[in-house]
Amino acid sequence: MRADSGDVYLQHVLPDGSVPAGWPHNGLALCSAPGVQMAPSLAQDGTGGVFVSWQDRRSGNDWHVYAQHVLASGALSWTANGVPVCTGPGDHVIPRLVADGSSGAIVAWQDTRLPSSAVFTSRLAPDGTPVRGPCVVIVPVGTSSVDSGTVHIVWRVDSPDTATATVYRRQVDGPRTPIARRKPDRLGIVDFADVGLIAGCRYAYALGVSACKHAERILGETRIDVPDGAGFSPLHASAPQSQARAGRLILTWRVDGDKGLAATIFRRDSCSAWMQLGSAAADDSGLVQFEDHYLFEGSTVCYKLVVHACGRDHDLAEHWISIPFGFGFVPTLAVLEDAEAGPTAARLVWRMVTGPSSVARVYRRDSTSAWASIGEPAIGPNGLIRYVDTAAQAGARYEYRLGLLSCGVERFFGPAVLQIPAPVEPHFDLSLGGGRPNPARHELIVSFTLPSAEHAILELVDVTGRRLSMEEVGALGPGSHVVSIKTARALPTGLYWVRLTQSGRTLTIRGAVVH
């Protein structure tokens, strides 16, 4: 302590107590730098010289380790006041050293840079420069705390080559995501605070460190359980904002509680189950955006957002949205392909061009009634809908329309107007056919046609003009008839006249009877 609070000197003393030539009488100054130098240790170098190490406080703050190589002649082999062995953050004390057998030395010391005391070593080359060994980077977690909506973590990085470190975060069942970059302070401390976390979730934090020219290594992982309450919010999603554009519905949710969450979007209507549409990830502001297409105008659909977090799925939001008309959305469209009115039925054919899965209904009305459903035909291949109305009344005029019912909403198409034809009465002319057989042997059979049921007389007259038979046949009605002429007595052989009279017209034919 001849110069200040403490320096390191060395003396070579021979067995007889004398000092060899070349050595200072009061010792060789190994270190006279400012500050305190103490706790020296030495080891023979194998050639008559020694290696010396000590703890040094020339920096004025922490204890560092320095060393010197003294030759047998008393000359200093290394830099005056010693070469630095360890000058990193923290205290490094009580150094000890040994020759490495290759003209260099290995120095060990007690080190306080970690939460608990540890022993570190360094190897010095023959010229006093450090020999780089395996790159060891230690990143212990100093402290961690959770309070007031904030997770606070402190790491201590033990690597002089680390300029910056990357903070990674993951949910315990998810991948790591880089969320911040930090520069260790002079003591290697990395101080980080995280907010916007989901209540009830478990997170894992780690530090990505690149040192010793190696690729980044993930070290110092610690798990944090985020409590319910304590300033943390549960996972929540806002009602979606929707925008119609060119046949697409653009949906945007805001998810509160974390960044980069994976979301799955589902859709259903009032008469079908949930259908998974796709997935999207929340951006850094928590926005989830998704585009849906091939929607039917005028329909009402429900969307659900499911977010995977904390090891499970969360159903965050269900909201109904009405799809507007226009904007390029798919219309419900049906066209009338054919309509025909017959005397006994009306036949109609529609074709469903576009639209959701539907039930077809046929409606009918006349001038005195309201629309009434008369049937539910099936929708066949190519969307064809066929219906035959067998209850149509002849001579009536009807309107028909098609209804397509989907999820409680019915859309109508038409009307188609059909006039059911009235029945056409058959037309007959007054006619009188020949008798048969002709000639007849016993009775004369006559065929004739009446145009109506008006009074008609069928007569049999002989050649003298005498009436032998007269019969009223108008009651037989319109149409063709065959009758046998009846007389009071059997007709003798001869020539006869058959006369038919109706509505002032008379027709006559000739017949013969032969015995």
Beta strands 50-56 and 37-44, pairing class: antiparallel
Query: In the chain, pLDDT over 70 holds for what percent of residues?
Result: 95
Show the tokens assigned to 500: 């038919």
Cβ pair 139, 157 in contact under 8 A: yes
Q: Mind listing the pLDDT tens digit for each residue in 273-316?
A: 999 999 998 887 889 999 998 899 888 999 999 988 877 788 88
Beta strands 28-31 and 397-406, pairing class: unpaired
Beta strands 141-147 and 150-156, pairing class: antiparallel
Amino acid at 186: R
DSSP category for residue 340: E
The neighbouring-strand residues paired with 457 are 472, 501
pLDDT surpassing 70 at residue 133? no
Cβ partners under 8 Å of residue 304, min gap 6: 265, 266, 267, 268, 274, 315, 317, 318
- 334 vs 350: CA distance, rounded Å: 7
Q: Mind listing the pLDDT tens digit for each residue in 425-471?
A: 788 999 998 777 778 777 788 999 999 999 999 999 998 889 988 99
- The whole-number pLDDT of residue 453 equals 93
Show the tokens assigned to 39: 């706790």
- Which domains, from first to last, does the chain contain? 8-131 (no CATH), 141-225 (2.60.40.10), 239-322 (2.60.40.10), 333-419 (2.60.40.10), 431-513 (2.60.40.3080)
Show the tokens assigned to 245: 């554009």
User: Hey, is 474 helix, strand or coil?
Assistant: helix
Q: Mind listing the pLDDT tens digit for each residue in 357-385?
A: 899 999 999 999 999 999 999 999 899 99
Show the tokens assigned to 298: 């005028």
Complete edge-to-edge strand list for the sheet that includes strand 444-450:
431-436, 444-450, 479-485
